[in-house]
Structure 1
């Protein structure tokens, strides 16, 4: 009965929520759009809410640009022809008869992705040999982009474009689907998708790893790639590409305004010498059409680019007016703002001051002294519940007084931050205007940052002592801690922790890890453990071999130490010894976890490890999800064998456990 209601549309709110969970799964959404007319009306708006992200995942599509351009007037199409668009493609644009008002459906606008996508489309379809020249620039920027090839320019799309409804599939739909869909999909050109082609370029969703050192490192990170090291186009090619990009960019923006688009997410991202001409030109247009942003809830500002004085004036003009037409921002991300951009700090502080609904702020790769003591946070003292400092430099910051006004704060995260000291932390505690209940706390350093950022005088235990009574989720790096500091703080102050993530586990602190798990035995439900990596070149053979022993010692001791009520375990080990793994599984037979995630760098004895895991799963009736992957999986495509082989073995023993990729199962409380 319930199933039929989902399909018939009797409970649209529930069906809509289900489809919203598929917002990044284009193929599944496309299938949903073909179920019936009701599901089609729900799936298409989700598919088209963020089309400019399609080249940044495995969807590989650029043809949504054609759909947008088909809505342009004849004068604009003539201009496209003058810019080099072929006559056949102009005819194609004129022949498209969309079923939906696609431009009106966009909710996410990322200036970097828009410009990158338009330049890719222009280099592919305009009558100029720009494609491979432009790809060299993307490659030099280390972007992770999935692209089509440049062969077979006019092959039919058939069923492979999730942004379009294919009329050939209509005959298989229920009879109440409208038969008036007349998209000329046979006219669409599609290139063969390059198998697993990833052009390494800047990935906006991944933290970068350039220079990392004390001092004003954010500025050095910003200038890590000097202009001469970046791929470039010839002057003539640059002018052609920039001219076409600028025209299409402005045409699309005017189209969105004409279609009464209201954005939910707006990302302002400036890149290294990446031709931001289009971005600067749109500011005036945006300022005169404020309706575009009046419902905007997510705003990201990323200045990964050294601003000239003239460009800085344009940006400041935009930020000066932004608070007047965008007052519904709930989530704000500020990234790559350094001392050179100090004049912007006043504008950003004014923007924050104007937002009465602001609930989360993330400061990423920022010299925090430009914001002083963070006193501007006082304006959102009642609404702000989460604040993150990610790779920020607190040098020259005297106090964190502004944090003390956040009386509703529930989540506080410090990730790879430097120059923090006890005086700053105590100033925060002293200025707390009212007792607060921090539920999630992160004080975390990745393995790559360990050697530079190890503390001789750790301070995270101060936070645990202050907020331990209310903490439920705790993420900590164990580097720099004296052996008993952290375990004593948890033992004395933490009573309700159910999520624990510990990294940089070494032979120096393994006993501390086991002691912490024992302390939290009655409350812990989710546990992530990550062994510290060592590079033999930098640490020496003795330290490297010692780090290998930690894997064995941890596995042997962990099984018998895990809480019986633990439902989630995520463990990363450099090397897994088969005998140690057997002993681990033997020790945790009574543990009731439903999700088990194992990562390692194992290159040998893979089959034996998989057989041991299969044997454990065979006799386990509680486990529901399992993941076993190697960290080299993102580099070597054939490592998918680990996943597929394990899935086959699990099926053979008749187990119902579902094998998933690590990224599908992992739980992190400090995601933003």
Structure 2
């Protein structure tokens, strides 16, 4: 009864709520358009929120830019441009430009260049971008997400149009900037600070050579102007970290990638302002302990629940021990990936000593020296809490280790991702050892070994038949499509076979922060 009401349009609020979950699934949204008018009315705006993220193609029969430029009649009356003769469409059923929520300057520039080539349009790409932005503005589009890359040739036109139309960017929640030092970018940042106070996520990728006094001043003002900023991502841009103290009451997540920390950074001043942090990530950084150290002070109360350490160069482990000591009871989502081998066991010891409520774990180098024994202890410790587990090794994992791992897998485990060389005999032994895991929903296997492929696939097939799995991914160094076809033919009726990247879970997918 409820289902029939849903499809008949009697429950529009619930229908809209359900379709929101499909906003990144274009195929499903296209199908929803054909169900009825209500589904079509809800699905169309979702499909047109971020059209520039659609993969580039010069073979599309009808490009979304054709539809946008069909609105030029009205726009040209206001802005005095000549019509583009290559566009000739019937009156549109929806006001498609008004649905735009996301702009990536680089992708927009790339799409227009491909479109010019396929339509043989002679107008300059920069001019086309200017016209396109004015179409959005004329039709009252309001952005949710904006990514600026100021190395593209059309950046000056983009800035000029936006600077004259503050309403277009006044509601932005997600702002990202990749800058190589274009002279007008600080001016744009200043304008953004004055006209937008709603940003929740900021991402900076600014080359070291580009950071100067004017940049720093405008970025500081941008931080100061945001009343609800909660997430910040610094990529290659360490000199901006002082700005963190200006959003202390709202900031919950910080990510650092490719940062070389040094003693000259005044992290102590930032630390005392960041007591609300819930998520911290370091990836490809050098000496992250310099940022960590002030948080090791017991007088600074932290309740971090997500910590990601990915292939960093660490000089001193002691600050991390103090950090784990302070945040251990609150930590739920933890990934320690490809850290230096001589610190791996230290991290495992910290987990065993200080953590109590881990739900997500990602381990690498599980076969190194004493690591297996420590991992066994950790799995036993979190047997009733752990729901998501990734185990990774660069080489083969012995059958005894695999057998023990299988036996110690938590009974309530929902997600398992294993990445290492494994032969069919050992894989079968592992599967037999974890028969007690009844709630497993997603199984991902990345096997670097291509030997005995048919036997391995048959073992996976038999294991899946005895489980209530919902999703499966199996990859090797061979072509995935052939494996996918085989598995779909054999077990597609009982489990959905997907690409690895479609199934892999990261802490940010489940912690509700990033």
Question: What TM-score, normalized by structure 2, do the two folds share?
Answer: 0.90
d(CA) in 1 for partners of 2:352, 2:378: 8
> Aligned pair in 2 of structure 1 residues 391, 483: CA closer, same or farther (>3 Å)?
closer
Query: Any idea what SS the aligned residue of 1:566 has?
Result: coil
Aligned-pair RMSD on alpha carbons?
Answer: 2.7
Q: Secondary structure at the match of 2:473?
A: strand
Instruction: Identify which of structures 1 and 2 has the higher relative contact order when contacts are C-alpha pairs closer than 8 Å and 6+ apart.
Output: 1
> Does structure 1 residue 296 correspond to structure 2 residue 172?
yes
In structure 2, distance between residues paired with 1:605 and 1:59: 40
Matched with 2:350 is 489
Counterpart of 1:662 (choices 469, 491, 500) is 500
Once residues 188 and 135 of structure 2 are traced to their aligned partners in structure 1, the CA distance between those partners, rounded to angstroms, is 21
Q: What residue in structure 2 maps to residue 387 of structure 1?
A: 254
Q: Which ranges of structure 1 fall in alignment gaps of 5 or more residues?
A: 128-239, 533-546
- Pair 456,385 (structure 1): closer, same or farther in 2 beyond 3 Å: closer
Asked whether the equivalents of residues 456 and 480 of structure 1 are also in contact (C-alpha less than 8 Å), the reply is no
| Map of 2:65 onto structure 1 | 65
Deviation of 1:586 after TM superposition, in Å, equals 1.2
| 2:139 equivalent among 252, 259, 267 | 259
Alignment match of 1:628 (pick from 471, 474, 478) = 474
Helix, strand or coil at the partner of 1:267: strand
Which secondary structure does the structure 1 equivalent of 2:72 belong to? coil
Alignment partner, residue 412 of structure 1: 280
Say if 1:443 and 1:460, in contact at 8 Å, map to a contact too.
no
> Who is 2:308 aligned against?
442
The whole-number CA distance in structure 1 between the counterparts of 2:227 and 2:400 is 51
Question: What whole-Å deviation, never above 9, does each CA across 1:2-41 have from its counterpart, x for those lacking one?
Answer: 1122223332222112222222322221111111111111
Q: Is the 8 A contact 1:399 1:427 kept in 2?
A: no
Change (3 A) 1:75 1:403: closer
Q: 1:663 to 1:277 in 2, by over 3 A?
A: closer
1:357 aligns with 2:357: no
Partner-residue secondary structure (3-state), 1:476 = strand
What does 1:8-157 correspond to in 2, within 5 Å?
Answer: 8-56=8-56, 63-73=63-73, 89-90=86-87, 93=88, 95-126=89-120
Q: Deviations over 1:26-70 (max 9, x none)?
A: 222111111111111101101111111112599967611111111
Contact 1:415 1:443 in 2 (8 A): yes
Q: Using a 3 Å threshold, how does the CA distance of structure 1 residues 462 and 670 change in structure 2: closer, same or farther?
A: farther
Output the CA distance in 1 between the equivalents of 2:341 and 2:150.
Answer: 36
Alpha-carbon separation, structure 1, partners of 2:62 and 2:229? 34
Specify whether residues 22 and 302 from structure 1 end up closer, same or farther in structure 2 by C-alpha distance, changes over 3 A only.
same
Is 1:250 aligned to residue 130 of structure 2? yes
- Hey, what does 1:613 align to over in structure 2? 460
Name the residue aligned to 2:200: 330
Report if the CA contact (8 A) 1:521-1:563 is conserved. yes
Q: Does 1:644 align with 2:470?
A: no
- Cα distance between partner residues in 1 of 2:353 and 2:164: 58
Distance 2:58 2:231 in 1: 30
The residue that corresponds to 1:164 in the other structure is: none
How far apart are 1:250 and its partner, in Å?
Answer: 0.7
Q: Secondary structure at the match of 2:55?
A: helix
Equivalent position of 2:219 in the other structure:
348
The offset of 1:433, in angstroms, is 7.1
Structure 1 residue 576: Cα displacement: 1.6
Distance 1:530 1:60, change over 3 A: farther
**SS in structure 1 of the partner of residue 211 of structure 2:** helix
Name the counterpart of 2:324.
464
Tell me the distance in 2 between the aligned counterparts of 1:517 and 1:364: 34
Q: In structure 1, what is the equivalent of residue 191 of structure 2?
A: 321
Give the match's secondary structure for 2:336.
Answer: strand
Query: What's 2:382 paired with?
Result: 520
Q: What is the rounded CA distance, in whole Å, between the counterparts of 2:26 and 2:92 in structure 1?
A: 19
Distance of 2:264 and 2:379 partners within structure 1: 36
User: 2: CA distance between counterparts of 1:517 and 1:52?
Assistant: 44
Distance 1:552 1:347, change over 3 A: farther
- 1:507 lines up with 2:368 in the alignment: yes
Alpha carbons of structure 1 residues 123 and 585: separation in structure 2 relative to 1, 3 Å: same
Provide the TM-score with structure 1 as the length reference. Answer: 0.70
Question: Alignment partner of 1:14: what SS?
Answer: helix
Q: Secondary structure at the match of 1:501?
A: strand
SS in 2 for 1:55: coil
User: Aligned partners of 1:458 and 1:658: how far apart in 2?
Assistant: 45
* Partner SS, residue 98 of structure 1: coil
Structure 1 pair 353–59 and aligned structure 2 pair: CA distance change class (3 A): farther
Task: Count how many residue pairs are aligned between Structure 1 and Structure 2.
Answer: 503
